Amino acid sequence: MTSAAGTDPVAVIHAAQGMERYLLDWLVNDAYPRWAAAGVEMGTGGFVECLDQDGTAITKPRRARVQTRQVYAFAQASELGWQGPAVAIATRGLRYFVDKYRRSDGLYRTLVAVDGTALDDSALLYDQAFALLGMAAVHKLTRSSGEWEQQADALLYVLNRDLKRPNGGFDSALDNRVPLLSNPHMHLFEACLEWRDLSVNPQWRVLADELGALALARFIDSATGVLHERFDETWNPLTGIMGRIVEPGHQFEWAWLLLRWGAEVSEARHAALRLIEIGERAGVCDGVAIDGLLDDFTIQIASARLWPQTERLKAAALAAAVTGHSQHWMRATAAAKALRQYLATQTAGVWRDTLGADGTFLSGPAPAGNLYHIVAAILALTRALRQVRVAESIAQ
């Protein structure tokens, strides 16, 4: 391991392991039991949108992305040590999603009522990406049947037929196609990387490579290293303020994905590590990753939601595993400590969503969709530390 000046590599790893123990204890003993009991509708297997700070479910219409994010979160539970009915919850939740959200054209609508009635039939690229991710997660648990691989292949076919653009990438939605957005491509990239490792279908690797190349060529500014969010039809950033927005959380999230995709490819590795450096230098203030910058690195939104903390942790943990640099382990520990603030609630297993610019948390419920971010971050940290343990055992 390469150590930063003045740091003890062993102490750095021990600090990261201490945060890993805290996060796993919270997840396994508090969060999974809480959301399994209060966040899953007993009759249908569908997932609620949010829990109040006292742990009770709030009745709200249900977004597609929340259903599939919760499927993903519970599908990882066994690997992370939860002994509850994770497979049943994830599988039943995915069946509920397909039943209530699938449109006649094979795409998935964005919103339904609590009783399952369609409220918004829009087909967004973002929601299709998470449908593919949820299917990958359940396929990994129950791959013997092949059911979810067939469902994913069918959705990929429809995506290519209805939303694929001739100049690369995908339209943002079936009806409102522009502006073009990097964010849903990020989650489609994530889903493709999962399927690349699970399926013999070569289309997943091909699309993952296309999306990685699109990110390097269009999403990331080669001069500044920043990741842009909104584009015109020729994949140029929008003019005006909307084209200048930079989200530190997405800087970290794309870095994590690019390292997963091509850690051994110099261009991808360089871009990923540069994204992390920008996020750390400009996007972390008073110990937390803030919500928004402009492309000149001035702060646009000084509040700090929970999810950018998790993306910072994911990127730092994987960068540490890939490079061996102590600096990234230190950043992973710092990100985990920042995340811990959001999890320190009076009711075990819920979280606070937004830290205001004044350093106090805003009141409000715990959004269910954050569990996906939290679980993925803890998983990234545990897998990175697992590599360290394996390397240590081999060296002994």
Q: Write down the domain spans for the chain.
A: 39-176
pLDDT tops 80 at residue 265: yes
Pair 80, 28: CB distance under 8 Å:
yes
Pair 75, 123: CB distance under 8 Å:
no
What confidence category does residue 10 fall into, taking pLDDT thresholds of 50, 70 and 90? Answer: confident
Is the model more confident about 389 or about 342?
A: 342
Packing angle of the helix pair 266-283, 248-262 (nearest 10 deg): 160
DSSP H or E segment with residue 231: strand 230-231
Token duo for residue 122:
């829009």
By DSSP bridging, strand 299-301 and strand 50-51 are unpaired
For the sheet with 111-112, list strands across it.
Answer: 62-63, 111-112, 118-120
Instruction: Give the predicted TM-score (pTM) of the model.
Output: 0.96
For residue 158, what pLDDT is reported? 98
pLDDT in tens, 61-101: 999 999 999 999 999 999 999 999 999 999 999 999 999 99
pLDDT tops 80 at residue 315: yes
Q: How far is CA 360 from CA 94, 284, 337, in A?
A: 36, 16, 16
pLDDT tops 70 at residue 302: yes
For residue 393, what pLDDT is reported? 60
Q: How far is CA 368 from CA 70, 73, 115, 151, 184, in A?
A: 7, 10, 18, 25, 19
Q: For 113-229, where are the E strands, in sequence order? A: 118-120, 180-181
For residue 3, what pLDDT is reported? 63
pLDDT in tens, 194-242: 999 999 999 999 999 999 999 999 999 999 999 999 999 999 999 999 9
The average pLDDT across 36-54 equals 97
Nearest to 49 by CA among 317, 364, 304, 309: 364
Q: How far is CA 366 from CA 10, 113, 208, 336, in A?
A: 36, 19, 32, 19
What confidence category does residue 6 fall into, taking pLDDT thresholds of 50, 70 and 90? Answer: low
pLDDT in tens, 121-159: 999 999 999 999 999 999 999 887 899 999 999 999 999
What confidence category does residue 295 fall into, taking pLDDT thresholds of 50, 70 and 90? Answer: very high
DSSP H or E segment with residue 346: none
For the sheet with 299-301, list strands across it.
Answer: 245-246, 292-294, 299-301
Pair 100, 46: CB distance under 8 Å:
yes
Average pLDDT score, the chain: 95
What is the separation of C-alpha 365 from the centre of its chain, rounded to a whole number of angstroms?
20
Fold of 39-176: Glycosyltransferase (1.50.10)
The average pLDDT across 259-265 equals 88
How far apart CA 120 and CA 222 sit, in angstroms, is: 38
Pair 215, 185: CB distance under 8 Å:
yes
* Torsion sign across C-alpha atoms 211, 294, 239, 130: positive
The string over 258-269, giving b where at least 16 C-beta atoms fall within 10 Å of a residue's C-beta and e elsewhere, is: bbbbbeeeeebb
Q: How much of the chain exceeds pLDDT 90, in percent?
A: 92
For residue 4, what pLDDT is reported? 62
DSSP H or E segment with residue 147: helix 147-162
Nearest to 86 by CA among 375, 377, 388, 383: 375
pLDDT tops 90 at residue 51: yes
Pair 75, 28: CB distance under 8 Å:
no
pLDDT in tens, 342-361: 999 999 999 999 999 999 99
Mean pLDDT check: name the lowest of 2-16, 317-331, 374-388.
2-16
pLDDT tops 70 at residue 390: no
Pair 322, 311: CB distance under 8 Å:
no
pLDDT in tens, 156-201: 999 999 999 999 999 999 998 899 999 999 999 999 999 999 999 9
The residue assigned the tokens 């950043």 is 331
